[in-house]
């Protein structure tokens, strides 16, 4: 993980998704020196988005999307 982050730092974007709360990442990664290095690279110029729900899946908490109309689906297929 450290090598991947090191190679991408200031060169490419990297998206990290986790179900673990950020405050537990250090303990989860184990080795303190390695964890510090990984977390330092992760937070460097980062944008953090935390989704909070009431213990339910986000999919269950959002209202269902309306179904696409047949004409919209057909026009989307013609454009591709």
What pLDDT does residue 37 have?
Answer: 86
Q: Which domain covers residue 43, as residue numbers?
A: 1-52
75 lies in some domain? no
Say what the pTM is: 0.50
Structure confidence by residue, pLDDT tens digits, 19-78: 888 788 888 888 888 888 888 888 877 788 877 766 656 566 667 677 766 665 565 556
What pLDDT does residue 20 have?
Answer: 82
Q: Which alpha helices (DSSP H) does the chain contain, by range?
A: 2-8, 25-29, 32-43, 58-61, 70-79
57 lies in some domain? no
77 lies in some domain? no
Structurally, the chain folds into a number of domains equal to 1
């Amino acid at each position: 993980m450290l090598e991947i982050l090191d190679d991408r730092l200031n060169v490419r974007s990297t998206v990290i998704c986790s179900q673990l709360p950020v405050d537990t990442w250090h303990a989860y990664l184990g080795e303190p020196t390695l964890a510090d290095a990984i977390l330092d690279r992760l937070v460097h110029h980062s944008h953090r988005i935390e989704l909070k729900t009431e213990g339910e899946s986000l999919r269950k908490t959002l209202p269902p999307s309306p179904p696409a109309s047949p004409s919209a689906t057909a026009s989307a297929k013609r454009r591709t």
